[in-house]
Chains A and B, each alone.
Chain A
Amino acid sequence: DAGVIQSPRHEVTEMGQEVTLRCKPISGHDYLFWYRQTMMRGLELLIYFNNNVPIDDSGMPEDRFSAKMPNASFSTLKIQPSEPRDSAVYFCASSSRTDRTEAFFGQGTRLTVV
């Protein structure tokens, strides 16, 4: 398996624009997580899904952030409108309940909002 695949690897956008980050989890994994990493706040869990259903979105910072998982092989994290303080590295991870909980991370999307 190719692992968790995220796209794009880098995104630079202007304040106010819509940004969509994409994630393809490992095939067969039934949990998917979105994290945000910044120097100030470290690694924060934004939202996670189980079997495509959002389970906990309490980490989503505000209504400008939304996440979807239309099927088992694809998820998106959207920011609309984007702000400079959203600049961070966004990671997607997936895991399988049957595999005793190890999480596999993608390489991340580095978002810069100018």
Chain B
Amino acid sequence: GDSVTQMEGPVTLSEEAFLTINCTYTATGYPSLFWYVQYPGEGLQLLLKATKADDKGSNKGFEATYRKETTSFHLEKGSVQVSDSAVYFCALSKNTGNQFYFGTGTSLTVIP
């Protein structure tokens, strides 16, 4: 069935370090791919998305490229800040049914 596998955490980085959180997916057809972020005590917010192969989603300095050949959607940021500390979820959605499949989440802590 359709699923998402993402890198387990927690991840701890120093401020201004480079961030990569790996995400791979299994799905038939052409899903849309998402990264959501959850700040402490809040709900999930959409960070970025890509709806077709080779699309790059970007927001707030974060980027992820939809790679169909490797079934991946890795999240990257060149220089993290303390305010980026949160839990990051990779997700996919099929165009039929609108059902979402979420990864287990990766907790990121950025220390000054």
Contact = CB atoms under 8 A, between A and B. Distances in A.
Interface stretch (B19-27, B73-81, B99-107): B99-107
B45 interface: yes
A33 B97 CA distance: 12
B98 interface: yes
B61 interface: no
How many of chain B's residues touch chain A, expressed as a range?
20 to 34
A48 B43 contact: no
Contacts of B99: 45, 48, 56
A77 interface: no
A101 B102 contact: no
Nearest to A9: B41
Main secondary structure of the interface of A (DSSP, over half): strand
A95 B99 CA distance: 10
Nearest to B98: A31
Interface of B: 32, 34, 36, 42-46, 49, 51, 89, 91, 93-95, 97-100, 102-105
4 closest A-B pairs by beta carbon, nearest first, are: A105-B43, A101-B93, A42-B104, A105-B44
